[in-house]
């Protein structure tokens, strides 16, 4: 079984950047509308909403949904 080195690197980065406390997908979803508007306003999301920011670094599915939401709001501006 061959493993893509990029996938491995991404896993290791993911592992090393793991925080003791991370919110789950439900809590991220609850706050995602607020988070996306902060992003649109060009504010520093890592400072303003660090837990959501962190979750999106570790969760590909929530990240996809965030990017789709961002694209919609930018496209409809």
Partner 1 sequence: MVQRTNQEWLTDLRGSAREETLVDLAAILVRGLRYALSDRADVTAEDVEDFIQDTLIRILDKLDTFRGESQFTTWAHKIAIRIAFTELRRRRWRDVSLDAIVNRYNSSDYTPPLLRDMGASLETSAAMELLAVTLWRLIEEKLSERQRRALIAVTFEAMPLEEVARRMGTNRNALYKLLHDARKKLKGALLQESISVQDILETLG
Which parts of this chain interact with partner 1 (CB under 8 A)? 1-5, 7-16, 18, 20, 22, 24-26, 29, 31-34, 36-37, 58-61, 64-65, 68-69, 71-73, 75-76
The answer for residues whose C-beta is within 8 angstroms of residue 58's C-beta and 6 or more apart is: 14, 17, 18, 22
- In the complex, minimum distance from the CB of residue 46 to partner 1, in angstroms, rounded to a whole number: 18
Yes or no: say if 39 and 32 are a contact pair by the CB < 8 Å rule: no
Yes or no: say if 25 and 61 are a contact pair by the CB < 8 Å rule: yes
- In the complex, minimum distance from the CB of residue 60 to partner 1, in angstroms, rounded to a whole number: 7
- Comparing CB distances to partner 1, the nearer of 8 and 46 is 8
């Amino acid at each position: 079984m061959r493993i893509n080195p990029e996938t491995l690197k991404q896993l290791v980065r993911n592992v090393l950047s793991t925080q003791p406390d991370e919110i789950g997908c439900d809590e991220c979803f609850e706050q995602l509308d607020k988070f996306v508007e902060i992003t649109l306003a060009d504010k520093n999301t890592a400072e303003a909403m660090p837990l959501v920011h962190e979750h999106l670094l570790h969760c590909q599915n929530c990240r996809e949904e965030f990017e789709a939401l961002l694209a919609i709001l930018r496209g409809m501006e």
